[in-house]
Amino acid sequence: MKILILLYLYLFSPTWATNIDAINTKDLYLTPNSSTQISVPHGQQIKIRGDKIIHVQDLGSKIKIAASKEGEARISVGLNTYVIHVAHPNQLHFLATLNQKLKEFLDLHASIQNREIVITGQLHRLSDWKAIVDIAREYESHFKMLARVDADIKEAARAWVNSKLQSHNLNLPHLLFEPLVTAILPEDDKNLDTLWRQALLPLGIQLQYEKSQLSIQPLVRVRIVVAEVNKKMQSQLGVEWPEIVSASLAPKLTGVNSIEVFLKAMEQSGLGQILASPNLLARSGSEAEFLAGGEFGIKINTRKSNEVLWKRHGIFLKIKPQADRSGRLSIELSTEVSLIDEAQAVDGIPALKTNRMSTHFDLSQPRTIILSGLIRQDWGQSQNGVIGLAKIPIIGALFRSQDFIDNKTELVIFVTPEIVNDREYSNKPLLPKSWTEHD
């Protein structure tokens, strides 16, 4: 009995009682299977709402309120209304700790509304919000941020929320700060509801789905490295140099940007050279293209008109990634190497030697795809062929290489797709060692 009395004094001290209406309404907090008593003036009418949450016993000048299960009930005694919140002990301890901490802050209050802990008042500092989040994490509980947010901290608040979302591979949605802090999400993101809740509810931010919102798909960056690689390097890369075009996954190398580090070391050892290293960006479901080469025109005369048909030559790479917020990635790759063959020209129109490949990979984490066998060794054997091929941007350096002519090296394309945050800056690309950077 002493324990119950002490618990009652602790729970219903001024810290635990918030006056919604200074005269008529009081909040009372109980745990299941606990009870309290309130005085009832003689002749006052008593109304009870929520009799499944509490049981009331008439004791004459008092009534006994026994909590049976979690929820909210109301008792009206004349002009006075008592809101009885029956909550789990952990939630009440969380509320007590919050109220103790909020004494250090200005204009913030904590209470229970509809079985949820809410923060009301005026939020003047972002650090106060962060402190509340830390306490919620300690108690493994959630809260709702209903406090009005000062205008001069809203931008900082958005940046803070964005930093939290990055760890979940989520982009910052539209945030509303009134009447409560809410993230407005497109209905298409409902399949990611669990992920959004894991990211936002611990911050006190509520979710609201709307049809009118534009769905922003994950952004995928594809690092491409076009390189001439000595065939002695096949054991380190874990691939066999094929006679025909092929695609394979590179072995898992340790370290940040490990493939790039490997290729730089290869270049410094004289076992190859990096010809190009572009980065492509594409939204999930969209396409991106890379062309190192050019186009030549073929004039077509008809009775009605004269037209020019443009033919592409060089190295062409098309990617189409599909990604989700959990980090899973599926990528379709189409590769084509087309080289002008003057020796096979007909009526002044050059022929094209072409290799094409389409492939598909499903990745659960960033991996590098190796494309090889793109150029047959005999393509540049004739003198006229070598002269012509040497003029092609990027790939021309390959045909000027004596090692390639001597069949010691191979053209290899390394493709590394990864999901990135919209605000993340692309890393500095690799440059051929013959290039010089200027400030």
Q: What is the residue-averaged pLDDT of the chain?
A: 78
Assess whether pLDDT exceeds 80 at residue 390.
no
**pLDDT value of residue 372:** 79
At residue 393 the predicted structure's pLDDT band, cuts being 50, 70 and 90, is low
Q: Torsion angle of alpha carbons 282, 285, 291, 296, nearest 10°?
A: -130
At residue 257 the predicted structure's pLDDT band, cuts being 50, 70 and 90, is low
- For domain 1-87, which CATH number applies: 2.60.40.1080, 3.60.20.10, 2.10.260.10, 3.40.50.2300? 2.60.40.1080
Task: Report the pLDDT averaged over residues 224-243.
Answer: 69
Q: 3-state SS of 78-144?
A: CCEEEEEEECCHHHHHHHHHHHHHHCCCCCEEEEEECCEEEEEEEECCHHHHHHHHHHHHHHCCCCE
Choice among 89-93, 138-142, 146-150, 391-395 with the minimum mean pLDDT: 391-395
Assess whether pLDDT exceeds 60 at residue 189.
yes
Assess whether pLDDT exceeds 80 at residue 364.
no
Determine the 3-state secondary structure of 50 from DSSP. coil
Assess whether pLDDT exceeds 60 at residue 33.
yes
At residue 1 the predicted structure's pLDDT band, cuts being 50, 70 and 90, is very low
For residue 243, give Cα distances in angstroms to 146, 334, 374, 386: 66, 19, 9, 21
Of residues 355 and 47, more confidently modeled: 47
Q: What is the C-alpha R_g of the chain?
A: 34
pLDDT in tens, 174-183: 888 888 899 9
At residue 329 the predicted structure's pLDDT band, cuts being 50, 70 and 90, is confident
At residue 394 the predicted structure's pLDDT band, cuts being 50, 70 and 90, is low
pLDDT in tens, 6-17: 333 334 443 343
- CA angle 301/304/307 to nearest 5° reads 40
Of residues 436 and 362, more confidently modeled: 362
Of residues 168 and 131, more confidently modeled: 131
**pLDDT value of residue 110:** 92
Task: Report the pLDDT averaged over residues 34-53.
Answer: 86
Task: Report the pLDDT averaged over residues 214-231.
Answer: 80
d(CA 169, CA 327): 7
Q: Torsion angle of alpha carbons 378, 380, 385, 387, nearest 10°?
A: -160
**pLDDT value of residue 136:** 93
Task: Report the pLDDT averaged over residues 241-253.
Answer: 59
Sign of CA dihedral 133, 138, 143, 147: negative
Provide, rounded to the nearest whole percent, the portion of the chain with pLDDT above 70.
77
Question: In which residue ranges of the chain is CATH 2.60.40.1080 found?
Answer: 1-87
Task: Report the pLDDT averaged over residues 16-23.
Answer: 40
Q: How far apart are the first and last CA of the chain?
A: 79
For residue 334, give Cα distances in angstroms to 237, 317, 321, 324, 412: 22, 6, 12, 22, 15
| Beta carbons within 10 angstroms of residue 84's beta carbon | 23
Task: Report the pLDDT averaged over residues 57-85.
Answer: 88
> What are φ and ψ of residue 123, in 5° steps?
-95, 115
Q: Where would I find the beta strands (DSSP E) of 302-437?
A: 306-323, 329-346, 349-363, 369-372, 409-420
Task: Report the pLDDT averaged over residues 256-285.
Answer: 78
Task: Report the pLDDT averaged over residues 322-336.
Answer: 81
pLDDT in tens, 279-328: 888 888 889 988 877 777 777 777 777 777 788 878 888 999 988 766 67
pLDDT in tens, 100-128: 999 998 899 999 988 899 999 999 999 99
Q: Which helix (H) or strand (E) holds 200?
A: helix 193-200
Confirm whether pTM is higher than 0.75: no
Assess whether pLDDT exceeds 90 at residue 203.
yes
Assess whether pLDDT exceeds 70 at residue 240.
no
Task: Decide: 399 and 381 in contact? Cβ < 8 Å.
Answer: no
Assess whether pLDDT exceeds 50 at residue 56.
yes
Choice among 3-17, 203-217, 329-343 with the minimum mean pLDDT: 3-17
